[in-house]
């Protein structure tokens, strides 16, 4: 495999050198940005900016902050990463919020011990990221379970009469994660809805875990924990974002004996137990794909999240809208945003935070209202209740 890779590199390098000498536009045609950047929350008050190119190369982000010019590189220890065509750079949130950033990549045809053949550098258009700016009402768009039908998702999103300040992509956006191109699909959806100017909270669904690239894709986010679980803050809202793993046991035939979510979720559970949320945060929200938090590989997350003081759990996976209190015996609300629905429609949900309330409204791609509910945190704790989904 190494020899094949080396032969391929030598051929590509020769083509690059010859076409450069002949002033041919091959370089321009081959090496392009194929997914413009999106900005993801990644814990520790940091964002991770992710974009991709048609071929492998370097990645770096430039911006100015408080009069200084910054260039932040996609590094693995001291080395610039050059083997992938997906690029990710971690930047402090305070540097990027309400600031303009530009992403760049340079083609690297081959990189040997004492020589590298490099091609052109491409750059994205500068984009301004809209961070929290003290607004009274905060709109959060929830789009889980796209399952590779972004067209329907976009039609549903277009029903809302307000623009999101933050986007939650809560898993199962694609149906499997066999290779890099599937992750690029996720990137294309993030960009389609965020335009690179709205921060995105991303969590894995069970389907993003299926395939050889599942583990690699988590590394791209460079989270504070190393797993796809982290905490983040948007103004008065504090989020605990969790990876719920798969929806079957490790021993299920589906996984061919090649997964160990039992260990991964046990480590995540220990991390959860170590968390203390900010008492000053007005809303404490858990984001997780699979809402069965009573049993995640033998771990009961209900008490852990209750001890954190979670107000609302935002889940997906069930492909239906629901607004519930006391699900799984949890002393907080639950909201399922819809996603790809059983009737072949897509349901998106917009949450508006403000005045100690969260107003949730859900529409499908046929412009039908699929659910509406107001969570109020100023009065009595509600008795057990299950507001029904509104049928079309």
Residues that bind Fe ion (CB under 5 A): 172, 205-206, 317
Q: Which residues contact 142 (CB under 8 A, 6 or more apart)?
A: 167, 168, 170, 314, 316, 335, 337, 348, 349, 350, 351
Output the smallest distance, CB 177 to Fe ion, in A. 13
When the beta carbons of 36 and 172 are compared against Fe ion, the nearer one is 172
Residue 153 vs 198, nearer CB to Fe ion: 153
First-to-last C-alpha distance (Å) of the chain = 55
- Burial of 38-67, coded b for 16+ CB within 10 Å and e otherwise, reads bbbbbbeebbbbbbbbbebbbbbbebeeee
- The whole-angstrom distance between residue 168's C-alpha and the CA centroid of its chain comes to 7
156 SS3 class: helix
Q: Judge whether 124 and 318 are in contact, CB under 8 Å.
A: no
Q: Which residue is nearest to Fe ion (CB)?
A: 317
Pair type for strands 127-128 and 166-169: unpaired
Between 48 and 206, CB nearer to Fe ion: 206
If the CB atoms of residues 131 and 205 are measured against Fe ion, the closer one turns out to be 205
Contacts of 315 (CB under 8 A, 6+ apart): 144, 170, 288, 289, 290, 291, 334, 335, 336, 337
Distances (CA, A) of 314 to 47, 140, 278, 284, 302: 21, 11, 19, 11, 14
Residue 171 C-beta: closest distance to Fe ion, Å = 6
Q: Smallest distance, Å, CB 277 to Fe ion?
A: 26
State which residue, 102 or 328, has the beta carbon closest to Fe ion.
Answer: 328
3-state secondary structure of 377: coil
Element (H, E) at 266: helix 261-273
* CB 196, min distance to Fe ion, A: 26
Q: Which is nearer to Fe ion, 156 or 174 (CB)?
A: 174
Q: Which is nearer to Fe ion, 85 or 144 (CB)?
A: 144
Q: Report how far residue 104's alpha carbon sits from residue 35's, in angstroms, rounded to the nearest whole number.
A: 12
Supply the minimum distance, in Å, between the C-beta of residue 320 and Fe ion: 12
What is the greatest pairwise CA distance in the chain?
76
| Shortest Å, Cβ 243 to Fe ion | 12
Q: How far is the CB of 328 from Fe ion (least distance, A)?
A: 17
Cβ proximity to Fe ion, 288 vs 308, nearer residue: 288
* Residue in the structure block whose two tokens are 């008490």: 303
Please, what is the minimum distance in Å from the beta carbon of residue 155 to Fe ion? 21
- Cβ pair 342, 363 in contact under 8 A: no
């Amino acid at each position: 495999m190494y020899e094949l890779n080396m032969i391929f590199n030598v051929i590509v390098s020769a083509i690059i050198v010859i076409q450069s000498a002949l002033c041919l536009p091959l370089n321009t045609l081959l090496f392009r940005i194929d997914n413009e950047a999106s900005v993801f929350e990644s814990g520790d008050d940091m964002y991770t900016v992710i974009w991709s190119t048609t071929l492998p190369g370097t990645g770096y982000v430039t911006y100015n902050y408080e009069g200084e010019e910054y260039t932040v590189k996609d590094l693995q220890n001291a080395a610039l990463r050059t083997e992938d065509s997906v690029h990710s750079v971690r930047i402090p949130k305070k540097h990027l919020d309400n600031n303009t950033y530009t992403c760049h990549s340079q083609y690297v045809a081959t990189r040997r011990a004492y020589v590298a053949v490099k091609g052109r550098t491409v750059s994205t258009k500068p984009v301004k990221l809209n961070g929290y700016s003290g607004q009274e009402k905060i709109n959060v768009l929830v789009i889980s379970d796209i399952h590779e039908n972004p067209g329907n998702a976009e039609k549903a999103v277009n029903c809302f009469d307000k623009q999101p300040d933050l986007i939650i992509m809560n898993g199962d956006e694609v149906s499997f994660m066999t290779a890099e191109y599937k992750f690029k699909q996720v990137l294309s959806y993030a960009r389609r809805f965020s335009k690179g100017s709205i921060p995105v909270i991303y969590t894995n669904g069970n389907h993003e875990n299926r395939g050889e690239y599942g583990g690699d894709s988590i590394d791209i986010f460079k989270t504070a924990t190393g797993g796809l679980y982290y905490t983040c803050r948007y103004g008065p809202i504090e989020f605990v974002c969790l990876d719920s793993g798969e929806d079957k046991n490790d021993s299920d035939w589906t996984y061919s004996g090649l997964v160990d979510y039992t260990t991964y979720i046990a480590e995540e559970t220990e991390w959860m137990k170590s968390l203390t949320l900010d008492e000053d945060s007005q809303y404490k929200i858990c984001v997780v794909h699979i809402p069965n938090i009573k049993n995640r590989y033998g771990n009961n997350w209900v008490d852990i999240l209750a001890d954190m003081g979670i107000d609302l759990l935002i889940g997906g996976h069930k492909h239906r809208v629901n607004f519930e209190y006391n699900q799984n015996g949890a002393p907080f609300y639950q909201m399922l945003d819809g996603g790809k629905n059983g009737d072949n429609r897509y349901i998106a949900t917009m949450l508006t935070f403000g005045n100690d309330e969260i107003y949730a409204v859900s529409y499908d791609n046929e412009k039908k209202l699929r659910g509406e509910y107001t969570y109020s945190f100023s009065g009595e704790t509600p008795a057990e209740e299950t507001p029904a989904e509104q049928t079309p």
